[in-house]
């Protein structure tokens, strides 16, 4: 039963966490920058939604590519605005992780397993995005791209 719940968490909770992480970037981008902000979750987006300056594209089969997510802005962020734009993603993932752990402590066994699996994924996201690195080529969706942490350092040096 617990393996099925972990798979459920991967198929349902993880894409919601990725979407939340990217929407946090988008909210900061909308607050600090002019122009359109585009959020993409998955490698082959098929569902699209426009809400004013926010455009969202989702891939319902993103599980095949480990649910990659991106947030792009029409106007390039700079300086402290750029740092705020990129750092809000890992911060939101940390908030989600803590919230899921808190929910796990008050839930039934099945919900606890799903929440713990989601919290684990959220903590991995915090580490993978906050540590200043350039992702290796073996990470197909991210290979060669800088992490949020590395981008923040670059923006703060401008």
Condensed to tens digits (0 to 9), the pLDDT of residues 57-83 reads: 998 877 677 778 999 999 999 999 999
Is the pLDDT at 18 greater than 70, yes or no? Answer: yes
Tokens representing 5 are 């719940």
Confidence at 154, pLDDT banded by 50, 70, 90: very high
Look at residue 41 and tell me if it is in a domain: no
Burial of 16 (0-12, 13-18, 19+ CB in 10 A): middle
> Could you give the angle at the alpha carbon of 96 between the alpha carbons of 100 and 98, nearest 5°?
55
The arithmetic mean of pLDDT across residues 124-149, rounded, is 93
Look at residue 70 and tell me if it is in a domain: no
Look at residue 132 and tell me if it is in a domain: yes
How many distinct structural domains can be found in the chain? Answer: 1
Structural domain boundaries, residue 140? 2-34+77-157
Look at residue 49 and tell me if it is in a domain: no
Look at residue 46 and tell me if it is in a domain: no
User: What is the per-residue pLDDT for 1?
Assistant: 52
Tokens representing 25 are 């970037």
pTM of the model: 0.92
Look at residue 152 and tell me if it is in a domain: yes
Look at residue 52 and tell me if it is in a domain: no
Tokens representing 37 are 């902000």
C-alpha to C-alpha distances, 65 to 40, 97, 119, 143, nearest whole angstrom: 13, 22, 20, 13
- Torsions phi, psi of 60, nearest 5? -65, -15
User: What is the per-residue pLDDT for 139?
Assistant: 83
Look at residue 59 and tell me if it is in a domain: no
Sheet holding 69-73, edge to edge: 47-51, 54-58, 37-41, 69-73
């Amino acid at each position: 039963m617990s393996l099925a719940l972990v798979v459920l968490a991967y198929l349902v909770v993880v894409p919601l966490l990725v979407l939340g992480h990217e929407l946090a970037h988008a909210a900061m981008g909308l607050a600090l920058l002019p122009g359109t902000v585009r959020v993409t979750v998955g490698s082959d987006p098929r569902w699209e939604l426009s809400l004013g300056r926010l455009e969202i594209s989702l891939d319902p089969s993103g599980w095949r590519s480990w649910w990659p997510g991106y947030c792009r802005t029409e106007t390039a962020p700079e300086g402290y605005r750029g740092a705020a734009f990129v750092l809000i993603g890992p911060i939101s993932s940390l908030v989600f992780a803590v919230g899921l752990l808190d929910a796990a402590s008050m839930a039934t066994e099945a919900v606890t397993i799903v929440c713990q699996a989601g919290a684990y994924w959220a903590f991995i996201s915090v580490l993978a995005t906050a540590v200043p690195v350039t992702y290796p080529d073996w990470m197909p969706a991210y290979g060669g791209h800088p992490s949020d942490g590395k981008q923040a350092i670059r923006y703060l040096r401008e």
